[in-house]
Structure 1
Amino acid sequence: MSGEHMQIGEVATRTELSLRTIRHYEETGLVMPSARSQGGFRLYTEADVARLMVVRRMKPLGFTLDQMRELLDATDRLDSGEKPAPAERDVLLECVRRYEREAAEQVDRLRTQLARAEEFAATLRERLTRVPTR
């Protein structure tokens, strides 16, 4: 599908984001459609979908829109055809590493929360099995 454009509805389906959310991310400058149709419809590419997926994955980990923007900017500059100067490249790589560490820490916190929630649910199930029936 490279080089082909998708309308916002298809992008919403593929990313599992609402149209409203995608439009909001456009308004905040996180993801811009690559083109517009003659009728003014937003048109997106695979690269746009990939950006939206980064945002979608960061959101439940508690990252802010500014943090999302910073990471996307860093990865854009690293992935662009222009090679950044070595010092700039090091700064960009450290930025990406920092977000990777923060994401891993948040995943660990979420695993702990999930384990506690599962323990709680199991405790309630066990308690219900001990209640005498009439």
Structure 2
Amino acid sequence: MQIGEVAARTELSLRSLRHWDEVGLLRPSGRSDGGFRQYTEADVEKILLIRRMKPLGFTLEQMAAALRDIEALDAGSEAGVAEARARLVGTLADATARRTDLERRLAMADEFIALLGDRLA
């Protein structure tokens, strides 16, 4: 599928998808004869994984590392699986801590909105 369809399916901008290709985070699986990016369902799944990491504030490098580790686990070969699993355990702990921080900040935002609502009522 072409980039426009992928952008619509993943609710991401064309600019983001092009940027991720340019920096090597996620390259499309192929190109059409006209040079257009061609994505597979597996590419879309990776894009959705990246999109889920973005709100947690992971860097492009951290997202790329997580993708590599997930691919290593999915490949199931013995080489590097233990190391990939160990790194993903750390990524999971990091993601959990980041989510906790987001929850705390969201609670503060809710308190602020409630305070303003009370003052204006």
Normalising by the residue count of structure 1, what TM-score does the alignment of the two structures yield? 0.85
Aligned partner of 1:83 among 56, 73, 77: 77
Q: Which amino acid aligns with 2:77?
A: K
Deviation for aligned residue 1:26: 0.4
Greater radius of gyration (CA): 1
Count of matched residue pairs? 121
Matches within 5 A, 1:1-134: 6-80=1-75, 83-85=77-79, 88-129=80-121
Q: Which runs of 5+ in 1 are unaligned?
A: 1-5, 130-134
Runs of 4+ in structure 1 deviating by more than 3 angstroms, as ranges, are none
Q: Which runs of 5+ in 2 are unaligned?
A: none
- Quick one: distance in 1 between partners of 2:6 and 2:87? 28
Normalising by the residue count of structure 2, what TM-score does the alignment of the two structures yield? 0.94
- Quick one: distance in 1 between partners of 2:82 and 2:33? 42
Identity %: 50
- Quick one: distance in 2 between partners of 1:99 and 1:74? 10
Q: Which amino acid aligns with 1:83?
A: S
Q: Which of the pair is proportionally richer in helix?
A: 2
Q: Secondary structure at the match of 2:38?
A: strand
- Quick one: distance in 2 between partners of 1:109 and 1:123? 21
Root mean square deviation, CA, Å? 1.1
Cα deviations by residue, 1:67-112 (Å, 9 ceiling, x for unpaired): 01111111111112x5123xx3221101111111111111111111
Q: Secondary structure at the match of 2:67?
A: helix
